A and B are shown apart, each in its own frame.
Chain A
Amino acid sequence: AQKITQTQPGMFVQEKEAVTLDCTYDTSDPSYGLFWYKQPSSGEMIFLIYQGSYDQQNATEGRYSLNFQKARKSANLVISASQLGDSAMYFCAMRGFTSGTYKYIFGTGTRLKVLA
Chain B
Amino acid sequence: GAGVSQTPSNKVTEKGKYVELRCDPISGHTALYWYRQSLGQGPEFLIYFQGTGAADDSGLPNDRFFAVRPEGSVSTLKIQRTERGDSAVYLCASSLGLGAGEETQYFGPGTRLLVL
Contacts and interface: CB of A to CB of B under 8 A. Distances in A.
Interface of A: 4, 33, 35, 37, 42-47, 50, 52, 91, 93, 95, 97, 101-109
Contact of B98 (A93, A102, A107): A102
Interface string B27-60: 0000101010000111111001010000110110
Contacts of A103: 33, 45, 48, 56, 58-59
Contacts, number: 64
Contact of A106 (B43, B89, B109): B43
Interface of B: 31, 33, 35, 40-45, 48, 50, 55-56, 58-59, 89, 91, 93, 98, 100, 103-110, 112
Nearest to A44: B109
10 contacts: A43-B89, A43-B109, A44-B109, A45-B43, A47-B105, A102-B31, A102-B48, A103-B56, A103-B59, A105-B45
Among B89, B91, B105, residue most surrounded by chain A Cβ atoms (within 10 Å): B105
Contacts of A97: 100
A42 B110 CA distance: 10
B43 A91 contact: yes
A91 B100 contact: no
Contacts of B112: 43
A108 B110 contact: no
B48 A109 contact: no
A107 to B, nearest CB: 5
Contacts of A109: 40-42
Query: 3 closest Cβ contacts across the A-B interface?
Result: A106-B42, A45-B107, A102-B98
Contacts of B35: 106
